[in-house]
Structures are given as structure tokens and as C-alpha cells.
Structure 1
Amino acid sequence: MTIHDTEVRRIDGKLQTLAEYAGQVLLIVNVASKCGFTPQYAGLEALYRRYRDRGFAVLGFPCDQFGHQEPGDEAEISSFCSLTYDVTFPMFAKVEVIGSGTHPLFQQLKKAAPGLLGTEGIKWNFTKFLVDAQGQVVSRHAPTDKPESLAGEIEALLSR
């Protein structure tokens, strides 16, 4: 099973696989609306708008496992993202990224790109995984890494 085979639920409730994004460079992020890193939505959207025509997408996966920072339902999350940050990149239904209920996508991401000292755990919201056009996880970035700091790495992957 590859990243592209993984089934996900869009924020509107529709099921799909990530095969729709095969051939694109992806930045997959666990997001939250009431987090200190929430302003990163603006940087993520800027990356998406800058590179989407070249085969790049940001995929946002809301998560409420860290400090109850994503308390809303999908409709509230969608409205917040649209109205507050003019988010146009694809958003998905809430997922778990740690523990026994971890979504299969995040199981794959964490295994392919372990964190500090080789741990697979995700420590907080806005952990970012960069995936190449073939669906291989290339790198993992901490919540403190600003989206714009990934531009060079994204450019390199898009130039392959």
C-alpha cells in the first residue's frame, strides 16, 4: 500500500483515495483552528497558490488530539479556514495522528519519516510531511518550521 492508495474522507464527507494526487508533490499537515501555530494557514495557502499550477498541493487534516485545539465539527472547521485564512487547498475530515486510532495515512507518514531520535510520535499540530510526486515521503518538518521555509525543498522536488 502506498500513500496514493490510502482512503481519506474530505471535509465535505466524501470518501476518496489520494490517487487523485498521484504525480503531485504534497505537503500533508495535521492542522488545528485554535493553536498557536494556526496562523501558519496563511503560509500554507501561500505555498499552495505559488506552486499549485506546477503540480503541488497542500493537504490539511484537522486533528483535536493536542490541547483540544480543534473542537469544531467539519462544517465549523471549513468555515473558519475559508473566512479567516481564505484557504483553498484541500481539507479533510478530522483524523487522529497518535494513539491506537491513528489514521492509516499518518501511520504511513510517521513510519516513513520518523521524528527526532527516530520516534514515530507526532508532538503537536502543524507537523508537516513532504511527499514527492511518486508518493514517497521525503521529509518531516516540525510545527515550529514555517511553511515558507520549505519553499526551496518544494522547488527542488518540482524540478525533478
Structure 2
Amino acid sequence: MTSVHDFTVKKADGTEQKLSDFAGKPMLIVNTASKCGFTPQYEGLEALHREYGDKVEIIAFPCNQFGAQEPGNAEEIANFCSLTYDVTFPVMAKVEVNGANADPLYKHLKKEKPGLMGLQSIKWNFTKFLVDKNGKVVSRHAPTEKPESLKGDIAKLL
């Protein structure tokens, strides 16, 4: 059975990141955008990152597929995240989460935890996937769910 740990993704600088490097700790994987109504959730994601430290990995994947709300390049996105929300968790290279060019990781996440009515698509920015220590996708959370509301679910995985 495929696990999230089987995937390699691109960092913002273009180098590769094996998700197996995060084996042994839960992950919260989020598609993000800098110009979205949900963008202030970066603050909540950073708060979780600081609270859990090395115990939980929070990983952001910028995406420009929803209302073109992530138009910048990797450097612009990194600067925005750092300067506006003091983000210190990994912000990866921009990806597509839906359609023919969807990142393989996102194809896997959607297959494991489909959306409403079993739809294998992401509805909007800041959809969150919680993954256990073994790389199994355990839950999917809507953009409207604030990061801090996931503390109980995260605690169960520690």
C-alpha cells in the first residue's frame, strides 16, 4: 500500500525533499495561497509549528489554481510568508492539486481522503490533510477549518 512517505516533492529552491525524511512524526499538508481570504491561516499553521516543534511536520504547497491567488514565484512566495506571517515551516514549490497536472502527492491524498460525495478534487486553498507517523492519510479538513481546531486530532497522533 502506498504511503505519503513514498513521495518526493520539490522544495521552493527546486531541490527534492523525500517525505520519508518525516517518517515517525505526523504531518499536516496544506495547499496555500498568498492572496486568499484564508491566507491568515498561515498564522495558525505557524502557531501549530511552534507549539509542536519537532513532533509534527507542517508542509505548505502553494497553488495558483483557485482564483489565481498565488501568482508569485518561489522567492516572492517565500518572502511573503516570512515577512507577513513569520513562517518557519517548509513552504514547498508551487504545485497543481487538481487536473491532469496535479502533483502525484495530491493525487494520492485525494484518493485516500476524497472530499464531499467522494469527489477526488480540492475545492479551494487551505484544504488540510493530516497524516500519521506511518504516512497514512487519516483525515481531510475543509479550508474553513482553522488550523488551531486540529489540535485534538494532532494530539491523538503523537
Normalising by the smaller structure, the TM-score range is over 0.9
TM-score (norm 2): 0.97
CA distance in 1, matches of 2:154, 2:92: 22
Q: Which residue of 2 aligns with 1:89?
A: 89
**Which ranges of 4 or more aligned residues in structure 1 deviate by more than 3 Å?**
none
Q: 1:16 & 1:40 partners in 2: Cα distance?
A: 24
Aligned to 2:3: 2
- For 2:116, the aligned partner's letter is L
2:35 paired residue number:
34
* Number of residue pairs matched by the alignment: 157
Conserved 8 A contact 2:25-2:133: yes
Aligned to 2:106: 106
Partner of 1:136: 136
Whole-angstrom CA distance in 2 between matches of 1:113 and 1:64 = 22
* Residue aligned with 2:152, SS: helix
2:34–2:70: 8 Å Cα contact kept in structure 1? Answer: yes
What secondary structure does 2:106 align onto? helix
Tell me the percent identity. Answer: 62
Query: Deviation of residue 12 (structure 1)?
Result: 1.6
TM-score between the two structures when normalised by the length of structure 1: 0.96
Please identify, of 11-20 and 120-129, the stretch whose mean Cα deviation from structure 2 is larger: 11-20
Structure 1 gaps of 5+ residues are: none
Q: Deviations over 1:82-113 (max 9, x none)?
A: 00000000110000000000000000000000
**How far off is 1:2 after superposition?**
2.3
Cα distance between partner residues in 2 of 1:109 and 1:153: 17
Shift of 1:46: 0.3
Whole-Å Cα distance in 1 between the matches of residues 58 and 24 of structure 2? 14
Q: Deviations over 1:61-87 (max 9, x none)?
A: 000000000000000000000000000
Letter in 1 for 2:125: N
Give the whole-Å Cα distance in 2 for the aligned partners of 1:52 and 1:28: 15
Question: Match for 2:17: what amino acid?
Answer: Q
Please name the residue that 2:73 is paired with: 73
- Report the alpha carbon displacement of residue 3 of structure 1 after superposing the two structures with TM: 1.0
CA distance in structure 2 between the aligned counterparts of 1:27 and 1:33, rounded to whole angstroms: 18
Show the 5 A alignment for 1:109-128.
109-128=109-128
* Equivalent residues of 2:3, 2:134 under 8 A apart: no
